[in-house]
């Protein structure tokens, strides 16, 4: 049997319920500006402090999908890692992320279907211990075996 899994990957054969992986990232003004450029979402609540001061947020906030992208980074780089295919993701935004906030993005394995190579994970992002995003991801995990 040949091993075709990319390096840095946890294959379906080795994934266990309860496994957790995470990353921490400070969200910077540059991150927000780059995300606005890439996504073409130039909503002034993200890029214009004067405008954002008069919103319910009382100041600029990061794009919600920028925060969600950190979950994607954990899945694509750590658990399961390279070769993973995203099948679905639910998201609920609970609180804003502001420039300068340090976000902890975590994924936790909740269900494994070995026959389909599918893994479900609870996903969450926290700032100073407070949940700002929760959801569930379903992915197709890589395997050491050829299909």
Query: Which two tokens mark 63?
Result: 């794009």
CATH number of 12-26+64-140: 3.10.129.10
Contact criterion met (CB below 8 Å) for 142 and 84: yes
Helices (H), the chain: 29-39, 44-47, 49-53, 64-77
Task: Answer whether residue 116 shows pLDDT above 80.
Answer: yes
- CA 63 from chain centre, in angstroms, equals 13
Q: In this predicted structure, what is the pLDDT of residue 2? A: 34
Global pTM? 0.92
Output the pLDDT for position 144: 87
pLDDT of residue 23: 98
pLDDT digits (tens, 9 = 90+) for 33-57: 999 999 999 999 999 999 999 999 9
Rounded percentage of the chain residues whose pLDDT exceeds 90: 92
The stretch 3-24 carries a mean pLDDT of: 86
């Amino acid at each position: 049997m040949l091993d075709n899994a990319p390096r840095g990957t946890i294959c379906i054969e080795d994934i266990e319920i309860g496994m957790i992986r995470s990353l921490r990232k400070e969200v910077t003004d540059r991150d927000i500006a780059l995300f606005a450029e890439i996504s073409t979402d130039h909503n002034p609540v993200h890029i214009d402090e004067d405008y954002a001061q008069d919103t319910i947020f009382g100041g600029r906030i990061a794009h919600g999908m920028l925060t969600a992208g950190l979950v994607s980074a954990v899945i694509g780089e750590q658990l399961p890692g390279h070769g993973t295919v995203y099948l679905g993701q639910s998201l609920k935004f609970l609180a804003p992320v502001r420039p300068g906030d340090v976000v902890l993005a975590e994924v936790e394995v909740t269900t494994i279907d070995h026959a389909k190579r599918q893994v479900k994970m609870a996903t969450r992002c926290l700032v100073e211990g407070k949940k700002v995003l929760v959801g569930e991801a379903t992915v197709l995990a890589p395997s050491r075996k050829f299909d």
